[in-house]
Amino acid sequence: MQNVKVNVTGNGVILRVTEGGTVNDNKWTGPTGLIESVEDDMKINRGNLRIGPNADYKVYYKNGEYSIERNIDLDNAPIFNKIKFVREKIFIDPGITVSSTTGKGMIVGSDAGATSNTQTGYVNKGNVEITGGTASTIGLSTSYGEIINENVVNVDNGLGLYGVNGSKILNDSAGTITITGNGTGMAAFTSATQLQDYGTDAKIKAGTLGNNEKTLELENKGTITINGNGGIGMYGELRTLPGAHSSIEVGKTGTSHGSIRNAGKIVLAGDNSVGVVSKVSAPAGAASALDFGGPEISLNGTGSSDIVTGKEGIGVYVDNTKVTFETDYGVEVKDKGTGVFIEGNNPSFTDNKTFELKYSGVPTKSAVAFFMNNKSTASGAANAEQY
């Protein structure tokens, strides 16, 4: 068997499907390493697997762990691009850089065999550097997965980290997310453009989603920096797509289908930017959009300048939902800025903490700590101090 020669030609060839395994078993060490690992599986001698110049083939990794141990330029990685990940947890090792100058990021999704969002996604201990992007560019993306950033994610335009369908995204205490142009640091939605047959989407379709089951979770413990105008630090949106079971209304009053927690620092250098956004899109045909609220927000900080915005910026945008001040908290704004913008008819604040609004704009302008639109009847307790 060792002397058998395998020639790969044509289209649609699946060289290997690897199911399971840990980072010690499945790893990227370069193009040669991938081909040699396939030869080892086939139990053939080195050099006996021959890939034709126009061959179209795939190598699948599923339901396991995979480590990236060598730098990858996503624009010039023809062998790496042959790898397809399904329900795989991908680890980017310390000192490793995954990059693109044409706006290419990385994406991994789950499948119907998944029992947890922790089985899929990324743990970034290295550097993700994506330039040449547009508004739709994403650094790391997952569906019914988990993204943990423990080091650096830099994107020039677009989104740093993105998840849908019951995903959980964490920018850990040593993590930094920087958008050097325009975009959003972290974003999550209940669903993408259509419901999938796995994750919380499947429960929405079947009518089995629990009232307190999360369709998105966002948490920042590190630092998020957005340099361009119109930037958003953290964005979470609950929504119910067509195809949902008639008994499921995501974000309905009395449910808790999403959460956003900022326990880190958000710096928005541009104007018209927002630190934290909680939104909800009521389902078609809903009797009243005011019966729905966005992901619940928790705020934990130093008590001063935990979120910093530019001119006409907003620290926290609340769409008819609950805000918990875990500690004293502070927002710093410039001209015409707002600390907390409250939308809807039934938002609430919990915990009797001190909220500081620091104004660093020009003396001839001003700012407000809390702004409630004409539908708001916010309840709860928070002490406001303005400087």
> pLDDT by residue (tens digit) across 90-110?
999 999 999 999 999 999 999
Q: Does residue 385 surpass a pLDDT of 60?
A: no
**Confidence category of residue 382, pLDDT binned at 50, 70, 90:** low
pLDDT at 384 over 60: no
pLDDT of residue 8: 75
What's the mean pLDDT in 7-36?
88
Q: What confidence category does residue 74 fall into, taking pLDDT thresholds of 50, 70 and 90?
A: very high
Tell me what pLDDT residue 259 has.
98
Query: Rounded distance, CA 387 to CA 381, Å?
Result: 20
pLDDT value for 38:
79
**Tokens for 335?**
């001209």
Residue 333 and residue 309 in contact, taking contact as beta carbons nearer than 8 Å: yes
Task: Answer whether 117's CB lies under 8 Å from 144's CB.
Answer: yes
Choose the weakest-confidence range: 222-226, 284-288, 370-374.
370-374
Between 33 and 266, the more confident residue is 266
Q: Which residues of 332-345 are buried (b: 16+ CB within 10 A; e: fewer)?
A: bbbbebbbbbbbbb
Confidence of residue 45 (pLDDT cuts 50, 70, 90): confident
Global model pTM greater than 0.75: yes
What integer pLDDT is reported at residue 313 of this predicted model? 98
Residue 87 pLDDT level (bands cut at 50, 70, 90): very high
Distance CA 89, CA 19 (A): 12
pLDDT of residue 224: 98
Q: What is the pLDDT of residues 298-340, one digit of tens each?
A: 999 999 999 999 999 999 999 988 999 999 999 999 999 999 9
Query: With pLDDT > 70 as the criterion, what percentage of the chain qualifies?
Result: 94
Question: Quick one: average pLDDT of 143-149?
Answer: 98
Q: Is 286 exposed, middle or buried (0-12, 13-18, 19+ CB in 10 A)?
A: middle
Q: Give the pLDDT of residue 347.
A: 64
Average pLDDT over residues 383-387: 55
Q: CB neighbours (10 Å) of residue 206?
A: 13
Question: Is 101 within 8 Å of 123 (Cβ atoms)?
Answer: no
